Structure 1
C-alpha cells in the first residue's frame, strides 16, 4: 500500500467517524465516507478492547494482509477505516478476509466476486 493511500490526519478520521456510514461483520467493522479524491485511503484500527499490544498488532496485520490480497478492491473516492472487533483474536487470515469482503460488499463498495485469489 502506498503512503498516499493511507488515512492519517485526525481531521479525516473524525470526518469518517462523524459523517460516514458503517457496516459490521463478524470480525471487523467498516466505516466509510466519500472523499471526492481520485484514490481510496485506508486505515486499520484495533482498540485496547481487542487486547494487549501484541494482539492489537496481530489484528492490524491480519486486516492489512487480508485487504492486500482482496480482489476486487473498493473503487476510488472513499476513506475507509477497518476497526477490529474482539472476536478477531486467534482467527485465520482467510476468515478475516471473508469477513472484510462481506462487510465491504454489504456497504456496496465492491461487487460480488470471490474474496480469495
Structure 2
C-alpha cells in the first residue's frame, strides 16, 4: 500500500469504533474517521466467526489487495479506515470483495470514479 499505512494500535481501533461513521453491506463493514495526519491508515479485522486461520488470512489478503488497487481513487488524506469482514465473506471471491469495498467507499463519499 503506497499511500496508506497499516493501523496497528488498539487505541486507534477503539477511537474509530467510538467516533467514526460506519456503513455495511453483505460482506464488509467500513468505519471511517478523519484525522489531521497527512496519510491514510487502514485496519482490517476478521473475527474467528469467519473461519479458521487459513480462511481469515485469505479474507484479509483479499481486502488488502482490493484496497491497494483502488487506493489512488480515495479522496483526501488523513482518513482512518477499518474494514470488518462479515461471516459471508468466507466464501466470497475477489471480485465480490472488491465490489463490496468500492460500494462502501462510495457510500462514505471518499471514492472518486474519475481517476
TM-score, structure 2 length as denominator? Answer: 0.89
Quote how far apart the aligned CAs of 1:86 are. Answer: 0.7
- Report how many aligned residue pairs link the two structures: 113
Are the counterparts in 2 of residues 7 and 41 from structure 1 also a CA contact under 8 Å? yes
**Alignment-derived partner of residue 73 in structure 1:** 74
What displacement does 1:51 show?
Answer: 1.1
TM-score, normalised by the number of residues in structure 1: 0.88
Partner of 2:54: 54
1:40-85 deviation digits (Å, cap 9, x = unpaired)? 1001110111111111111101101111112513421111000011
Q: Which runs of 5+ in 1 are unaligned?
A: none
In the alignment, which residue of structure 2 is the partner of 1:95?
96
Q: Structure 2 unaligned segments of length 5 or more: list them.
A: none
In 2 relative to 1, CA 74–45 (structure 1 residues): closer, same or farther, beyond 3 Å? farther
Which consecutive aligned stretches of 4+ in structure 1 deviate over 6 angstroms post-superposition? none
Distance in 2 (CA, whole Å) between partners of 1:58 and 1:75 is 29
Between structures 1 and 2, the one with greater strand share = 2
Matched-pair contact (CA < 8 Å) for 1:7–1:43:
yes
